[in-house]
Amino acid sequence: MKELTAAPSYNDDLEDDRYRLRLYVTGATPNSARAIVNLKDFCETHLKDNYELEIIDVYQQPLIAQADQVIAIPMLIKLSPMPLRRLIGDMSDKDKIFRGLSLTAG
């Protein structure tokens, strides 16, 4: 897993099948902490070595959240592979994540 500090461009490597994910959280709130743990666990289990996860705290980087039109927290945005998808919640519903990332459970 690679955690990024700078926001990658939506157009970077569009042909790549690597999952590029951006998780918006609000500080160290319990719901945000749960979303981070749940999503990291999901990615390590189901996307091993095939994803990049960027975690953005909207308190520290509000302009990025505004640019991505974040309307609820925690929010996961799947930047690639296309289509772009948004998931809201603490990422505890694995079936919802499978559907949101267009993966097949198995």
Q: Residue 23: helix, strand or coil by DSSP? A: strand
Q: Which residues of the chain carry a pLDDT beneath 70?
A: 1-16, 106
Task: Report the run of H or E that residue 54 belongs to, with start and end.
Answer: strand 51-57
C-alpha–C-alpha distance, residues 41 and 68, integer Å: 24
1 inside domain: no
23 inside domain: yes
**pLDDT in the model for residue 106:** 59
CATH of the domain at 30: 3.40.30.10
Q: Residue 42: helix, strand or coil by DSSP? A: helix
**pLDDT in the model for residue 104:** 78
pTM: 0.82
Expressed as residue numbers, the domain containing 92 is 19-100
Q: Distance between the two ends of the chain, CA-based, in angstroms?
A: 21
13 inside domain: no
